[in-house]
A and B are shown apart, each in its own frame.
Chain A
Amino acid sequence: MAKLVAKKMLQLVLVVFLVTLFTFMLVRVKPGEPEDLLVPLSSVGTTQEAKDIIEKKKDGIRADLDLDKPLYQQYVLWMSDFARGDLGNFYAVSSERPVSDRVKDSLPVSLQLMIYAQLMALVIAIPMGVYSAYRANRPVDKVANTTAFGMLAMPNFALGLVLAYYVGVVLGWVPPTGYTSPEVDLVRHLKTMFLPALSLAVGQIAVYMRLLRSDMIQTLQEDFILMAKSKGISNARVLWRHALRPSSLTLLTVAGLNVGALIGGAVVIEVVFALPGMGALIAESILTNQYVALQSCVAIIAIGYVLINFLLDFVYSILDPRIRNVRAAG
């Protein structure tokens, strides 16, 4: 067991190293001097005063990012800052705002969105999956399956746009846009998160439902179900108490793995609903050349994703050796 932990840890460290290195290189290899990308003001200086101001600004950035040092040192320095929670700055002509400030505000939004989407997907998908497995190949099942297919084919951003207008504005049930933090107004917070979470959840609902359905159909063919039925236990009880649990392992694995992907995967949804989350932050960083911020944000998400994978992997290999083997093969 200790060996397994050690091995996994080593893997984790290696992956984190490579992931951050990849991010670091991706941004540094881009043509152009970093300080010029961050403060694109080279040709302004018609007067000495202006030139001085700009040069001073760029000198500051160069010093900040250790740009005069060799690449590997830059990486090491960045990582050591990163590890200490210093994520660099958003550079603008008029300000240098720590990225950590923005991340502190954005990360909760993304986490909330992800959790709500996940919960919503599971809450809807589980009954659907259970029932359509129970009624496999009957009309109900076919309808559910077709619906699932349909949901899978909906581009979430288009769905988001449409929901925002028709549900948020025309019907006026929930706010169509914006973000309210739960400390300010919990009810309103939940309402504002409803549509974005739903847009994100729709695809997942289909995935989870199909997954659960097929596992469940298998479970329902097992002997212990037959036995339970023969004992006269009601169908509902058989389904929910006896069949669901053994069927839900794959579902939970996949749901767990999706957690990481969802954090960053909601980029477009966050933009569509004007949610100030990590996705929107990354999009902003990319589109405005704020590459220090980009580096840190992407690294955070990648590390988060790797960590979640690692934990899941680990938990499941303890729970069920079969999964370890399957995963090793996959």
Chain B
Amino acid sequence: MKSGETLGLVGESGCGKSTTGKAIMQLPPPTSGRVIFEGTDLASLHGTDLRRLRSNVQMIFQDPISSLNPRRRVEDIVAEGLRIWGIGDKSVQLAKVDEALGTVGLDPDTAKGRRPHQFSGGQRQRISIARAVITDPKLIICDEPVSALDVSIQAQILNLLEDMKARYQLTLIFIAHDLAVVKNISDRVAVMYLGKLCEVAPPDQLYAQPAHPYTGALLDAIPVPDPTVRPHEQPTLSGDLPSPVNPPSGCRFRTRCPRAEERCAEEEPLMREIDSGQYVACHFPLIGDTAAPTESVGALQTQAAPTV
């Protein structure tokens, strides 16, 4: 990942998106694969170093209730990062809290003394964002930050995240199960299936010409707000998600893939660039008729290992 970039990470529920997010934070450390942050393998860090590094990476969570401590006041929640690292004295901290609350669109004076339950879901997500940005992190992992919110609020929060990104020069990883949400905010979109990336591409390219059958199916599932367009005739995705503990052999998607052939069961497809900036892990992609070469082109580590 490049600094300042927004990466959208998309996939069905349970496919390992949040795990990827947490793995980056080493919460808990991933069982395999590596996380390289500014040239450091995070798995090699322990104790204070790890904690200090974590403060450079922040998370915004899906559930606005669970992610804020109900027993603490907003001021304490937001200031926590500063206090942990002893940044500034009390007045500096207070000023920073006010500033952060202000930038996320909350009135610091009324908000500070209250507790999370006195806020609406959208406001709570704003608090989460204020908490995340207060220590000037480099990377923020947004774990489905808007999926629990009303549609009207979703847009506000997405806009706010865009603003924040610009204001604090953030790098964002934006996790969502919905391709539509990430389309506008992402510089690149990665599609994940059962813990593996299957396609990475800039959003416009991805939406216009999905290469992986799974991406295609996901795109088909987006409701189109145009009554003249008829729903797809063929069912988009059938069957249940196989167990991630014991994934199918070869290509993980083959059990649900309309294009699956014998090879898919025997050989795991590797990630390759199929178009400029568009990478796919499929033997029989939707674009370009060429079957995948048998030799690895090698690009991205498949197991949740973005680099910055």
Q: A and B: direct contact (Cβ < 8 Å)? A: no
